[in-house]
Chains A and B, each alone.
Chain A
Amino acid sequence: MLLSRRNFFKILGAAGASTALPAGSAQAWSSKAPDDPYGCLVDLTRCVGCRKCEEECARVNELPAPERPNCQCTIFEKNRRPDDDAFTVVNRYFTGRIDNFNKPVPTYAKVQCMHCQDPACVSACIVGALTKDETGAVRYNKDKCIGCRYCMVACPFEIPAYEYDDPITPKVMKCTFCYDRISKDGGLPGCAGICPTEAITFGKRSTLLKVGKKRVKENPGIYLDHIYGEKEVGGTSWMYLSSVPFKKVKLPGLPETPSPKLSETIHHSLFSYLWSPIALFGVLAAFMSRTKKEADNPDNKGGV
């Protein structure tokens, strides 16, 4: 059990060689966002609450038809969230605006996965079942998933849903950005294609930002000068334009730092190349060999 100096370095070398891990280097954190992703710009002033997007989403993704698909009235009485049966839902909000006839003006807001540029869920996923694709879509691979739900904990928008009633093979359910369609030329996400008023504009994210800024500039007094998702959590593929404060339509106020930045920075600076565990191992081994030597030394016998 005696650990000589030479042995100690041998061990260090062996441990170092066995940890030829891919470079998760301790350098400064950098965004892993795709260069030119697609995106969607949702213009809340254009949405009329027809819920066709819900219907088309369910059809395209082979989900059960939405609850009362043609209802534009009582369905809005409760605030809904996307769940394992619906990747997107439209909610109605009365934000205090009134029209020329003193009637409250509703604002409709569609909710779905925002497809963040640096998604927290992708960073969190233990097995890499969630990936950020070149198209901008955050994709889910059920064959890797172990069902730990850490992605749901991580998501700042509370989007991933879970098949809680499936005992053996529950899946994480969320908007796919219709990956199979948009990755083909001219393909559109189901919701954007069906929307009668083009409240959802589909295109390259960079283009959409220009369109959005132009729309804000050309319609003074209509839009808030803020494209939600341009900077929130480092930017999202889906963005929103609105005439009412985003908080009132349940789009949470978020920092501009990408969610995974802090955790990845700390994690990598501690564990890249497993330097800290190896160092700790070495220090402890040195300690152990010293105490062992002391214990073996007959002069110290008896002392604890």
Chain B
Amino acid sequence: MKAAPLNKKFWTPGVLVMLCFMIAGAIAILGRFTGGIGYVTNLSNARPWGLWVGVDVATGVALAAGGFTTAALAHIFGRHHYESVTRPALLTAALGYTFVVLGLLVDIGRSWAIWKPMFNWNFNSVLFEVAMCVMIYLNVLYIEFLPIVAEQFKDRVNLPGMLSSLNSLVNWILKTGDAILNKTMWIFIILGVVLSCMHQSSLGSLMLVAPTKLHPLWYTPLLPLMFLASAIAVGYPMVIFETTIATSSFKLDPEMDILTPLTRFTIYLLGFYLLIKTGDMIYRKTWVYLLDGTYQTNSFLVEMICGIALPWVMLLFNRVRQSRTGIFIAACLIIGGVVLNRVNVFIVGYKPPISEGTYFPAVGEMLVTFGLIATLMFIYRIAVTFLPVLPGSREVNV
């Protein structure tokens, strides 16, 4: 079950649809960099953060959690059985974080100044810590990914045209890099897990500085813990989601022997998340809001019931865990719950205390977000086509 490049046709209708989204997103980004953020978004002085922060950044980081959770499981806790899913999860994480940074470049007004936090430190700022962690972690992810590139191209470097004179040099870099990493990879694996825990939790701390602006259903001192718990809980469902999509669209072996045991962990992790969320609600007596019928409360109810409780109960049944459709649905619900949680904390639950009016993302904002997601999927597709990421040997013919 060794990972190998896919041997499939690249241009499918799905890829063409992705291309359309990418072009539309590119046009919207062009608008943002010529007319300003106000030109393509519905953001205002009362609503400074919207879809781009809530989805591109916060959700992107959360959903990339598969990378460090599987790495921890397979490499640190020694469950080598799961090693076959670490590579796709790692690829998703590397791509996810790359696009978090790209999303940030679009969202921050002075994109050219994105390097400034490296030299201007504010240790009181949660965002500073998040930025530093994301920056280092992105590099760690690239380093972790390097052996995969090395495996494919070692001794086979063949650059086109003029660059061919560099062939031996690139080959040498790949080989030594790979050799060094072989010895030191454990540092990066642990570092990846540590950095992830740091900024996954700190993303939750972001809103702690605005106690009067976030709805009490979400505002709690436990926000960092909840963000961390939900990120860890969503890691394996994310792997299930990806693997199921990839194996079914590329017609590979569904790998149920790996996915089903993964869900066992999810029961505990998601259960813990459900427990602290419910416990916090009871302890702070915020359940009084639950039935007041505002869209915020309803959004919270959907998050709690459909996004956490329902998939948790589903996974308790062995029949669901054994069924490919069953775990896929449960995984989708969990992912949806975490996405909704991030959207709730950064968009729905955010209420400016003075200005009235609600925020709904503008078409331009959505196009940028969809465009970035489409580009991510496009590159994933390129990567799995040309690099040994997905387990290839047990291909089935349907």
Q: Do chains A and B touch in the complex (CB under 8 A)?
A: yes
Which of chain A's residues have a CB closer than 8 A to the CB of B72?
Answer: 284
Task: Report the minimal beta-carbon distance from B6 to chain A, rounded to whole angstroms.
Answer: 27
Report yes or no: A125 in contact with B125, Cβ–Cβ below 8 A: yes
A residues in contact (CB < 8 Å) with B: 1, 3, 21-22, 24, 81, 83-84, 120, 122-129, 144-150, 152-158, 160-170, 250, 252, 254-255, 257, 259-260, 262-264, 266-268, 270-271, 276-277, 280-281, 284-285, 287-288, 291-292, 294-295, 304
**Who on chain A is nearest to B132 by CB?**
A126
B residues in contact with A125, CB < 8 Å: 122, 125
Asked whether, in the complex, the Cβ of B122 is within 8 Å of the Cβ of A146, the reply is no
Does B126 lie at the interface of the complex (its beta carbon under 8 Å from any beta carbon of A)?
yes
> How many angstroms between the C-alpha atoms of A165 and B41 in the bound complex?
10
Q: Is the CB of A147 within 8 A of B81?
A: no
- Pair A170/B110 contact, Cβ less than 8 Å: yes
CB closest chain-A residue, reference B356: A79
> How many B residues are at the interface, by size bracket?
35 or more
User: How far in angstroms is the closest Cβ of chain B from A10?
Assistant: 12
- In the complex, the answer to whether B210 meets A153 with C-beta atoms within 8 Å is yes
9 nearest CB pairs, A to B? A147-B109, A164-B38, A291-B78, A263-B208, A152-B48, A170-B109, A149-B48, A127-B120, A147-B110
Tell me if A150 and B186 are in contact (CB < 8 A).
Answer: no
B205 contacts which chain A residues (CB < 8 A)?
Answer: 263, 266-267
> Shortest CB–CB separation between residue B28 and chain A, in angstroms?
13
Instruction: Please give, as numbers and ranges, the residues of chain B lying within 8 Å of A144 by CB-CB distance.
Output: 116, 120
On whether the beta carbons of A281 and B221 are closer than 8 Å, the reply is no
Given contacts A164-B36, A260-B209, A267-B202, contact A126 B127 (CB under 8 A): yes
Q: Is B80 touching A123 in the complex (CB atoms < 8 A)?
A: no
**Which residues on B sit within 8 Å (CB–CB) of A292?**
78
Q: Does B3 contact A (CB under 8 A)?
A: no
Q: For chains A and B in complex, what number of residue pairs have CB atoms within 8 angstroms?
A: 208
**Residues in A whose Cβ lies below 8 Å from that of B112:** 168
For the complex, give the distance between the alpha carbons of A268 and B205 in Å.
11
- Set B46, B80, B113, B201: member contacting A147, Cβ < 8 A: B113
Beyond the given A153-B350, A157-B354, please list 12 additional residue pairs across the A-B interface where CB-CB is below 8 A: A24-B123, A122-B124, A148-B109, A158-B45, A162-B48, A166-B109, A169-B109, A255-B211, A259-B210, A262-B208, A276-B198, A295-B80
Partner of B80, one of A1, A263, A304: A304
Chain B: which residue is nearest A173 at the CB level? B45
B294 interface hit (Cβ, 8 Å): no
Chain B residues near A81 (CB-CB < 8 A): 45-46, 354-355
Check: B157 CB closer than 8 A to any chain A CB: no
Q: Identify the closest chain B residue to A161 (Cβ).
A: B45
Task: Say whether B190 contacts A153, CB under 8 Å.
Answer: no
Q: With A and B bound together, what is the CA distance between A292 and B75 in angstroms?
A: 9
Closest-CB distance, A294 to chain B (whole angstroms) = 7
Complex: A21 Cα to B132 Cα, angstroms? 14
Interchain CB contact under 8 A, B80 and A252: no
* Nearest Cβ on chain A to B204's Cβ, whole angstroms: 10
Residues 114-145 of B, flagged 1 when their CB comes within 8 A of A and 0 if not, give 10110011111111110100000000000000
List the A residue with the shortest CB-CB distance to B82: A304
Closest Cβ neighbor of B353 among chain A residues = A252
Q: Name the contact of A123 in the complex, choosing from B124, B185, B350 (C-beta under 8 A).
A: B124
Chain B's closest residue to A111 (CB) is B354
With a cutoff of 8 Å between Cβ atoms, the chain A residues found around residue B349 in the complex are: none
A162 touches B125 (CB 8 A): no
> Residue of B at shortest CB range from A148?
B108
Cα of A154 to Cα of B48 in the assembled complex, Å? 10
B213, A123: Cβ atoms closer than 8 Å: no
- Given the complex of chains A and B, what is the CA–CA distance between A190 and B286 in angstroms? 45
A280, closest chain B residue (CB): B194
Q: Which of A128, A149, A163, A264 contacts B36 (CB 8 A)?
A: A163
Contact A254 B212 (CB under 8 A): yes
Q: Give the residues in chain B near A266, CB-CB below 8 Å.
A: 205, 208, 221, 224
25 A–B contacts, CB within 8 A, in A order: A81-B45, A123-B209, A124-B127, A146-B108, A148-B109, A149-B48, A150-B48, A150-B127, A154-B210, A158-B354, A161-B45, A166-B36, A166-B109, A167-B32, A167-B39, A169-B110, A252-B353, A263-B208, A266-B224, A267-B126, A270-B201, A277-B197, A285-B186, A287-B76, A304-B78
